[in-house]
Chains A and B, each alone.
Chain A
């Protein structure tokens, strides 16, 4: 590809990123560090001086640590079972167990409310029991529900990342250690564990990063008065209207995440051991001893319960009415109600969401394809810098994107406050890294010999592109566009800052319904979450089908 084409393709996404990412971040920094036009750390110092800040930071880190530790505790046995054993339904279960990770956080939060909340299925069962009539699950005054939901969300990250490596560690190494006199536990500790450690730490730091910035779970499931940094940023912005403190918090969070990413990269480098990987097919075998069979059945069964029950409860609760069942909540989705907290019928939110998701698909799909083509075909520092720039919105967080939009794009020179485009633009920014990551590796992996073979057979450079590259690139673009669509459907953190009351998305409508009293509102939230769960799972299934095998970046 010529330099001129590369430059032409780079300009639109570059302008997009400058206007909608770099400029808002500068605006945040300006608000936090220089509220009056010159450098002034008083805002930061002011935020630092607030007595709750330390508590908030400690709580944020503590919560993320708890979620990470528990996700490892649940995810490592899952990784072991899927990497080492074959059993009936293994492939299907592996695919099903990934679903929680692709569900919107709002749906996960709603699912745990459906299971454990005051109106949840378990409390419904407990209320009817004759033995302990007063027994109730009460998780709304602690962070326990947030931790459980966080684990639900992140188990797949651990089991996929660690299991992926585990399946390639030759089990004969452990057997060699056993023959040399190591007990099973010692053989694991001395041989397999050190080899797994890079994947474990990598999974742990990704889960930690997700957990630090998990906004919807804390907002919807957490105890009031126990905010994380993200929630506090939102509260300072939307409720306290204290933008300087909010911006200072954003700066603190961005520094923290930056440090985390650097530490992660260092670890990764130090711990990676060059090893000969054996093909995964050799490694998995049926459970043979009684002990193995019990372990496999226990772990798989436990996972089915843990991952299945909340989602079943979600569907069940959407039909619950008093002690029986009805479709009242589903019917209510079609109507506007004074008491729903929404100025439109909930079904309108569904239409809005689909429109926004389609717009995001077009914007992020087009821009992402341009970036992926540039960084996929060209090498050098410029494409690399471009690559890094695109990944930055992933390293910040959706809340920061939303906050940045709020303070940067509502006044001249760029005033988009009234534009409905704001939401798909924010969604595109969140989706762009995923689109590029889905496409660029596919483009890079096109075997140059295919192009050479086509050229030798008489294809002109243009024909070579049409015949060899275009079909593969188009397929990758579909996958990227699918990601953009799915991410837009579930996006909550950024949307909460910029959604207008008359155009709520589905996640925003769920949040509003959950924050209003009344069984019907709760039921509608459950029904809407069920629909969103179905849409997300369906778009992920479609993406899986389009994917080129062996080129999975996510």
Chain B
């Protein structure tokens, strides 16, 4: 990895008695787009706010371009920040919102108006400088907030759940557009989200947080192909994840026994990937279908096994069995992941 532009060294953030971020280490290279991914309360926003200087860390050190910026006031950092509900200034029009940071940085009026026009062009809202921010749609507000954050040429752009208050259609359409803008401008980006699909469509790298700690850090490919823990696997959307115990090549799972030859004895976490399960008359796991959901090109079938655990499998090329039907499920052990407990 290239020399780190941003480096966090054991940064801890506390609110009252609660530790929101616990001794986080992170480095981000110039031009990298990093997603901070985690459920709500995992500390991802606290990490962002610490980097922005909005939350003084209780301990630890934050470096930017090799300089310690831990105690530097927010307004001297020169970073861009975009909030979930955008925090546009309601008493200023679109142009004045975008111009705000430029005025703070002492740009001349002529260069400000040129830059504002350029930014509105970039985000696809040319000519709307005189519009009131109260009349904008959600998607337009997001574009204005992005233009405002980008206008002063931030050295680091941070986005806090930028899709959080948009409807589903926009949430699916906008991330690739954002990524295109980031790449075109060569920006270094920290992108906070709780949605792994969104994270993977924007970022080069994802950092997964859990209860204030960094749980995983890697490219979408590595995380996807080999999740480092059961939590990460579940968070990435794998449905059949469970703690198991191995003994003599046989794993005792909540669903029943699964043969896994050549694995060491002891506790582990088993991930049954979607493609590893199939209905088969001689399958070792028996159960009853409790529901089926049709998802376009496949059906999602929930099975309660005789052992009493829930199992989900995708049926692609066959008609899914009726609810209440007894089924046998076979496991293709070449497609399962065995993770440390």
Which residues of A approach B to under 8 Å, CB–CB? 170, 172-173, 175-184, 186-187, 190-191, 194-195, 273-276, 285-286, 288-289
Contacts and interface: CB of A to CB of B under 8 A. Distances in A.
A175 B149 CA distance: 12
B56 A273 contact: no
B100 A180 contact: yes
B104 A182 contact: yes
A275 B86 CA distance: 13
Given A176-B81, A179-B81, A180-B148, A170 B75 contact: no
Nearest to B79: A179
Contacts of A180: 75, 80, 100-101, 104, 148-149, 152
Contact of B85 (A172, A175, A187, A286): A172
Given A170-B85, A183-B73, 6 more contacts: A170-B87, A175-B83, A178-B53, A179-B74, A182-B104, A191-B89
A220 to B, nearest CB: 43
A273 B54 contact: no
Contact of B80 (A179, A187, A191): A179
A274 B90 contact: yes
- Which 5 pairs of residues, A with B, have the shortest CB-CB distance? A180-B101, A181-B104, A179-B81, A275-B90, A178-B74
A405 B79 CA distance: 68
B90 A182 contact: no
Contacts of B251: none
B193 to A, nearest CB: 17
A281 to B, nearest CB: 14
B267 interface: no
Contact of B87 (A172, A183, A194, A286): A172
Given A194-B91, A274-B134, A275-B90, A172 B83 contact: yes
A194 B16 CA distance: 31
Interface string B201-245: 000000000000000000000000000000000000000000000
Nearest to A194: B91
A191 B104 CA distance: 12
Contact of B90 (A175, A181, A273, A286): A273
A276 B90 contact: yes
Given A173-B87, A175-B81, A176-B83, A181 B152 contact: yes
A170 B88 CA distance: 10
B15 interface: yes
Nearest to A278: B85
Q: Which of A177, A178, A191, A275 has the most CB of B within 10 A?
A: A178
A178 B89 contact: no
Contacts of B89: 173, 176-177, 191
B52 interface: yes
Contact of B74 (A170, A175, A286): A175
Contacts of B100: 177, 180, 182, 190
Given A170-B85, A170-B87, A191-B89, A183 B134 contact: no
B104 A286 contact: no
A516 B144 CA distance: 70
B78 interface: yes
A275 B91 contact: yes
B327 to A, nearest CB: 48
B91 A181 contact: no
Interface string B74-117: 11111111010101111100000000110011000000000000
A195 B134 CA distance: 14
Contacts of B105: 181
Nearest to B16: A286
A519 B105 CA distance: 66
A181 B15 contact: no
A190 B16 CA distance: 30
Nearest to B158: A179
6 contacts: A176-B81, A180-B104, A180-B152, A181-B105, A276-B85, A288-B56
Nearest to B13: A288
A286 to B, nearest CB: 5
Contacts of B134: 274-275
B81 A181 contact: no
Contact of A187 (B53, B75, B77, B91): B75
A503 B63 CA distance: 78
A180 B101 CA distance: 4
Interface in B110-159: 134, 148-149, 152, 158
Given A183-B75, A285-B15, A286-B15, A176 B104 contact: no
Contact of B73 (A177, A184, A190): A184
Contact of A176 (B53, B77, B87): B87
Contacts of A182: 75, 100, 104
A292 to B, nearest CB: 10
Nearest to A177: B100
Nearest to A274: B134
A545 B77 CA distance: 49
B95 to A, nearest CB: 14
Nearest to B151: A180
B322 to A, nearest CB: 41
Given A170-B85, A172-B85, A285-B15, A179 B91 contact: no
Contacts of A274: 90, 134
Contacts of A170: 85, 87
Nearest to A193: B91
Contacts of B85: 170, 172, 276
Contacts of B83: 172, 175-176
Given A172-B83, A195-B90, A273-B90, A181 B78 contact: yes
A296 to B, nearest CB: 14
B77 to A, nearest CB: 8
A179 B52 contact: yes
B75 A178 contact: yes
A184 B54 CA distance: 11
A186 B89 CA distance: 14
A186 B76 CA distance: 13
A273 B91 contact: yes
A62 B146 CA distance: 49
B104 A186 contact: yes
Interface in B155-213: 158
Contacts of B148: 176, 180
A276 B80 CA distance: 23
A119 B65 CA distance: 68
A195 B56 contact: no
Contacts of A184: 73, 75
A195 B89 CA distance: 9
